[in-house]
């Protein structure tokens, strides 16, 4: 499956920790074409892909469908849930995670892709660094599409970047603050504080790993 169209638009519209949604909406042909190709992919064609290619396809599909959901609603200013969430939040889009999309011969939602396909089948905690949450608190959307070749290395880079970023974790007066992602999905990170700490040490740089050596438990958590 050719992901070059998605790769090109991600390189064009993803700038550091931000996505240029207004520009993407004005130049959305590439995004629509890629989503259309996902819809036209048959189950028979999907079944011929390798396990790595299938994983890459679902990650890219999730990210592309998230982008299009936002672009379709952009600018997000309706007062649907304005008293609960800030303006311009993905959470103001009705049923954004449950809406069905045609992919590989089936009707499937973002929640289906994440919680019924990727997490239970691949059981890889690094998926949380690869999927686009469309929130400031989540790992950055990578400025390239995932591919079957080199797939094992790509999520490592995203994991290391997030762990080294204060949005992922930080030490304050000896207490470890972590992203709520590690609490919400603690079962994916070892099931307890020790498992999360082992995961963080694995992807931390040398200096941060040394500072984590004496930490035995998680402190607070948060998410923007």
pLDDT single digits (tens) 145-203: 999 877 778 889 999 999 999 999 999 888 999 999 999 999 999 999 999 999 999 99
Give the pairing of strands 101-103 and 221-222.
unpaired
8 A C-beta contact, residue 78 and residue 92? yes
Q: Radius of gyration of the chain from Cα atoms? A: 18
Rounded Cα gap, residues 189 and 124, in angstroms: 9
Report whether pLDDT(30) > 60.
yes
Q: What are the pLDDT digits (tens) for 2-13?
A: 999 999 999 999
**Between 81 and 206, the higher pLDDT residue:** 206
CA 188/CA 52 separation, integer angstroms: 20
pLDDT of residue 150: 72
**The whole model's pTM is what?**
0.93
pLDDT of residue 11: 97
| Mean confidence (pLDDT) of the chain | 92
Looking at residue 84, its pLDDT comes to: 54
pLDDT-derived band of residue 214, with 50, 70 and 90 as boundaries? confident
Strands 175-179, 221-222: pairing is parallel
69-101 pLDDT tens trace: 999 999 886 544 445 555 678 888 889 999 999
């Amino acid at each position: 499956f050719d992901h070059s169209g998605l790769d090109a638009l991600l390189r064009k519209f993803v700038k550091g920790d931000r996505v240029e949604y207004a520009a993407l909406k004005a130049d959305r042909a590439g995004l629509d074409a890629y989503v259309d190709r996902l819809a036209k992919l048959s189950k028979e064609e999907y079944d011929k892909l390798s396990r790595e290619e299938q994983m890459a396809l679902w990650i890219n599909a999730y990210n592309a469908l998230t982008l299009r959901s936002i672009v379709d609603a952009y600018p997000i200013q309706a007062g649907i849930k304005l008293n609960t969430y800030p303006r311009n939040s993905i959470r103001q889009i009705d049923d954004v995670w449950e809406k069905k999309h045609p992919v590989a011969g089936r009707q499937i939602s973002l929640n289906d892709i994440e919680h019924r396909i990727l997490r239970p089948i691949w059981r890889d905690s690094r998926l949380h660094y690869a999927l686009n949450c469309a929130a400031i608190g989540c790992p950055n959307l990578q400025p390239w599409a995932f591919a079957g070749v080199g797939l094992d290395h790509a999520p490592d880079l995203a994991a290391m970047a997030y762990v080294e970023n204060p949005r992922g974790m930080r030490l304050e007066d000896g207490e470890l603050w972590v992203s709520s992602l590690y609490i919400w999905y603690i079962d994916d990170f070892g099931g307890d504080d020790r498992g999360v700490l082992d995961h963080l040490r694995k992807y931390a740089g040398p200096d941060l790993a040394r500072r984590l050596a004496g930490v035995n438990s998680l402190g607070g958590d948060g998410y923007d």
